[in-house]
Amino acid sequence: MAKKKKHEEHENLERWLVSYADFMTLLFATFVVLYALAQTNVNEFTKVQESIKRAFQSISFLQGDNSILKNSGKNVIDSSGANDALIDSLFMEYISPKYEEESFEQIQEQINKLKDNELEGVTTKIDNRGLVITLNDANILFAPGSASLSMEARKKLDYISALIGKKFMLHLINVEGHTDSTPFVNSNMYPSNWELSSSRACAIVRYMIDKFKFTPDLFQAIGFADTRPVAKNDTLKNKALNRRIEIIVLKNINKTQNSANIQNSILKMSKQSQKALRDQQLEAINKILNTKPDLNNQIKYEKQKINDFNKPNINIIDTKLYEIETIRLENKDKNELLP
C-alpha cells in the first residue's frame, strides 16, 4: 500500500503583523502623550508623568523583553533619582507651549510686584516674539556715552536674570540696545549711536552670562541705535523712554534650525553635565531670590549710586551727570524728571 504524501507545512507569512501592531500602538501612544504634554497644566505634570511611566512600563515590544523605560540612562523619563526633576524640567521647557506661556506669565507677575521698589522703571509684555522685559534709562542705567553698567542696572539685572534663569535653561534670549536721537559726540570707542547701543546690549549679555552662568550660545546682542523709538524724541521724558534695553525671552516657535541645534546640544549633554550646569545657575539665582530687600538701607544705596559716578579722572559729561543725579535724588519725592 502506497504511503500518503505529507503536505508541506504552511509558512505563516503574517507574523510581522504582531510586531507591526505593537509598533503602531506605541507610535499612537507617543503622539497622544506629546499632545497631552503640550496642553496640560504645568501643575498637573507630575500626575501625567507618573501615568506615562506606568503605561509604558506595562508595554513591551516582545513578550519577555524589558519594557522600553527600563535600562535607564538612555530615555527621557526614567527613575534615575535626583536628576529626574532636571530632565523633566528641560523636557517640559523644550516641548510644552503651556509651560512656556505659564512661565512667561509668572515672571511677568513677579516683575510687576517688584517694579515699585527693586525694579522701578522696568516694564514687561508678552507678544508674538515672547516675553519682552524693558529697562528704560529714566533711572540712569548707563552714564551718557558709556556702556558701563551702573549700580542701578546691576541691581535690576540681578532680579530679572534670576527670574528668567529659574524658569528657563534652554530658551533663546535676545538683548537689544536702543538710544535716543541725540547726535553722538565723536569718540574713538563709540563713533556713533550704533556702536554705543550694541556695546550696551553686549554689556547686559556679558553680565548675565558671567554672574548667572547662562549658556552663551543662547544669546544674541543687537544694537538698533535710535531706529526703533517708542516715543517721539521731542521731550526729555520721551528721550529717556527711548534710551532703553529690551531683554526678550523668545518663544520656542520662533527658533531657527540653528537655534534648535543649540537647544539639542544641551539636551544631549550627560545628566551629570546638565546637573552641574544647573547647580551653578541655581546657586547664583537663589542667592538673589532668597534675599529679602532691606528697605531701611535705601538711603545708603542711593548715596552709593551717586558715588559710582564720582570717580578719579572724571570727564565733563560724567561731572554733569553727577550733578543731575544729586539733584534728582534731592527732589525724588516731587517726581521731577531731569535730563
Predicted TM-score (pTM) of this structure? 0.65
The three three-digit cell numbers of residue 176, written as one number: 537689544
Q: Residue 30 has what pLDDT?
A: 86
pLDDT tens digits, 278-324: 888 888 898 888 875 443 444 444 445 445 444 444 344 444 454 55
Which tens digits make up the pLDDT trace of 241-253? 899 999 999 998 8
Average pLDDT over residues 252-263: 80
- Answer yes or no: is pLDDT of 176 > 90: yes
Averaged pLDDT score across all residues of the chain: 75
Reported CATH class of domain 97-293: alpha beta
Q: What is the pLDDT, as a whole number, of residue 97?
A: 86
